Amino acid sequence: MKIALIAHDKKKPDMKKLSLAYKKILEKHELFATGHTGQIVSEATGLNVRCFNSGPLGGDQEVGSLIAQNKIDAVIFLRDPLTAQPHEPDVNALIRLSDVYNIPLATNLGTAEVILRGLDNGYLDFRRLVNGNENKHEKY
């Protein structure tokens, strides 16, 4: 599975802890991330992470583009709900695309853990069926 990891600045410590705690699960999957988040996760865990631009410089849009191409199976996006972000439209666009394509999306630690444990228990295996239809999203 292809997992996207993103964390706003105040949530990066949480992302570091999450990636360390769930390293054994994450290492079975292909990881993608916005720039600084990916750097933190790869340095903390030693896992291979494909890093895009930093979020404010277009990284969220790069992840969104992969979602639109059916190339991301789950998103863990630890958002900071208490700080205004200059690139809020990009954040909203990424969340919107996840909903358009029914991509499991966690926006906080609680849901992130559910998704990671679900991933390990095969609950996201339905994504493999979707992946069989690469670039052919079901619209209805």
Ligand X SMILES: O=C(CO)COP(=O)(O)O
Touching ligand X, residues 41-100 (CB under 6 A):
54-56, 59-60, 87, 91
CB of 71 to ligand X, least distance (A): 18
Does 42 show up as a binding residue in the annotation? Answer: no
60 in active site? yes
Write the CB contacts of 75 (distance below 8 Å, at least 6 apart in sequence).
3, 4, 6, 63, 67, 94, 98, 103, 104, 105, 106
CB of 60 to ligand X, least distance (A): 5
Q: Which residues pair with 77 in a beta bridge?
A: 6
Q: Which of 37, 42, 70, 107 binds ligand X (CB under 6 A)?
A: 37
Q: Can you list the alpha helix ranges (DSSP code H) found in the chain?
A: 12-21, 23-26, 35-45, 59-68, 88-100, 109-120, 126-131
**Residues near ligand X (CB under 6 A), total:** 13
Residues that bind ligand X (CB under 6 A): 6, 8, 34-37, 54-56, 59-60, 87, 91
Instruction: State the catalytic residues.
Output: 60
